[in-house]
Amino acid sequence: MPADRSSLPGADPVLSRALLGRAAEAAVVAYLEARGVEIIAKNLRMGRLELDIVAREGRVIAVVEVRSRAEGSWTSGFGSIDSEKRRRVRRAGERLWQRRFKNDPEIDRLRFDAASVRFEGQQAVVEYAKAAF
């Protein structure tokens, strides 16, 4: 999990944010795999859009939006998923469905999930919402 880079002299806040995001995605992957969910892709590009995690749970494809917040943040990761973000994730998910899963007889549907990750020291705490939007 991430080291606290904000207290390092000369720490780059953009780099720190990227490290936090990667650590959050890794925590969600571990969370899903521990529950028997198959990870199909991470950081999947659909043109100019990106999907954080694409997973398979039985006959359902889950597109997972991962949001993280550092210790002491005023809002949760869930609170940061605004209507524009939901629209972009849905558009990318619809492209994925049309291009890859629409005609797959082993897949019934696509679902949009969200995961909020906060860090308590080095420990990641994952909150997960199925069919979040």
pTM above 0.95, yes or no: no
What is the residue type of 34? Answer: A
Count CA atoms closer than 13 A to 60's CA, side-chain side.
Answer: 10
Q: Which stretches does DSSP call E strand in the chain?
A: 38-46, 49-57, 60-69, 109-120, 123-129
Residue 66, by phi and psi: left (phi above 0), alpha (psi -120 to 50) or beta? beta
pLDDT in tens, the chain (133 residues): 444 444 434 455 655 878 889 999 999 999 999 999 999 999 999 999 999 999 999 999 999 999 997 667 777 889 889 999 999 999 999 999 999 999 999 999 999 999 999 888 888 999 999 999 9
The boundaries of the domain holding residue 79 are 5-129
| Total structural domains within the chain | 1
CATH number, domain at 27? 3.40.1350.10
